[in-house]
Structure 1
């Protein structure tokens, strides 16, 4: 149950990341309708799943090595720290979302669009590396628990993305510069706290414990 709850909470955290994909999904839904956003959300979920599989498989074979775990904790902590600082001080665009005419949905094109838009961003891979270091070192999940965690996480993100598509018109009015600024600060603080947990793992290996 703890694994499921953590997967759900991390999924919600990812849902409030105010980035290019967030705006692209809402704008695409406004311009071309719900189903266009729905298929784009599928592409985003497939892209995230691909990164998770590649990253986790690349790391899991080394988790029994204490030195590798220290390196992983340090790298994961730095990644979380950088993302936390970025979101704390991230500038907020002043322009809102515009509602345009709807067009016919080309489902395969929208899936590819979501996959590429999310996948070509190098920060996505780095972010998943940070999340996986958290799962491996802090939560200490075995393979079955990790799979459950990521399935729940991706399912949560996908369902919320579908809701974003459904309520796209209303979201375009709600996502004001002030709202975006608050969300960025919340996400930034959460990521900074996660980074401290990972740094603590490394320090504990040297006999130093922060908390």
Structure 2
């Protein structure tokens, strides 16, 4: 069991630094809304990951095959990210720069936001499916070892995020109203790019979406 935990911790650390929409929104939330707000958002993200892991564990290759035949799911997730990115970009009117921006700290809302932002990204489910398929055999497909491994992995992921949140929080002192608006516009552009990437995946030929072959190549 201890060896499984040791193997999971580095993966959790690496996972925390995978660049994606959640990564940037987490840092922006910490910098503009504070520590508790960012933790609330992050807990929502982790809940979505936990659901994805359970789905991946009980579905495995069958779900992979279905995902390969349903590229529309990538398009759907991409469109939602695209809309959210555009909304984020235009939400803050530059004319409001001279006014004090009221920062909302609706922790439940931030929790739901983190959950949905992660949940709509079908690529995250594909990622966890790949991890299950690659790691499962090395854990003898033992449910107890798998639970231990992924619990340790998510715990390492969360602890690493806490340090990221604390570092990003230091920027709060330097954030003027104008800089907050610019930060949110930059975040909006990043979300739009992520959405376009997902949409592009949805329009790729099916042979380009053959996830099983990619995972088999990783295993070799």
TM over 0.5: yes
Matched residue, 2:133? 133
Matched residue, 1:28? 29
What pairs with 1:26-105 in structure 2 (closer than 5 Å)?
26-59=27-60, 103-105=103-105
Matched residue, 1:153? 153
**If each structure's helix is expressed as a fraction of its own residues, which one has the higher value?**
2
Q: Assess if the C-alpha contact under 8 Å between 1:4 and 1:148 holds in 2.
A: yes
Runs of 4+ aligned structure 1 residues displaced above 6 Å come to none
Q: Assess if the C-alpha contact under 8 Å between 1:164 and 1:171 holds in 2.
A: no
Matched residue, 1:124? 124
Matched residue, 1:168? 168
Instruction: Identify unmatched segments of 5+ residues in structure 1.
Output: 60-67, 76-99, 174-193, 201-211
Query: CA offset at residue 28 of structure 1?
Result: 1.0
Helix, strand or coil at the partner of 1:105: coil
Q: Assess if the C-alpha contact under 8 Å between 1:29 and 1:168 holds in 2.
A: yes
Using structure 1 for the length normalisation, give the TM-score: 0.61
Q: Assess if the C-alpha contact under 8 Å between 2:139 and 2:146 holds in 1.
A: no
Call closer, same or farther: CA 1:196–1:140 in 2, change over 3 Å.
Answer: farther
Q: Assess if the C-alpha contact under 8 Å between 1:31 and 1:101 holds in 2.
A: no
Distance 1:101 1:53 in 2: 40
Residues matched between the structures, number: 145
Distance 1:157 1:195 in 2: 26
Using structure 2 for the length normalisation, give the TM-score: 0.58
Distance 1:39 1:110 in 2: 6
Query: CA offset at residue 33 of structure 1?
Result: 1.1
C-alpha RMSD of the superposition: 3.0
Q: Note the alpha carbon deviations across 1:125-172, whole angstroms, 9 max, x for none.
A: 110111101121344341100000010011111121222212114589
1:6 paired with 2:7, answer: yes
Matched residue, 1:18? 19
Q: Note the alpha carbon deviations across 1:167-195, whole angstroms, 9 max, x for none.
A: 1145899xxxxxxxxxxxxxxxxxxxx86
Q: Assess if the C-alpha contact under 8 Å between 1:33 and 1:102 holds in 2.
A: no
Call closer, same or farther: CA 1:171–1:15 in 2, change over 3 Å.
Answer: farther
Q: Assess if the C-alpha contact under 8 Å between 1:36 and 1:107 holds in 2.
A: yes
Matched residue, 2:110? 110
Q: Assess if the C-alpha contact under 8 Å between 1:32 and 1:101 holds in 2.
A: no
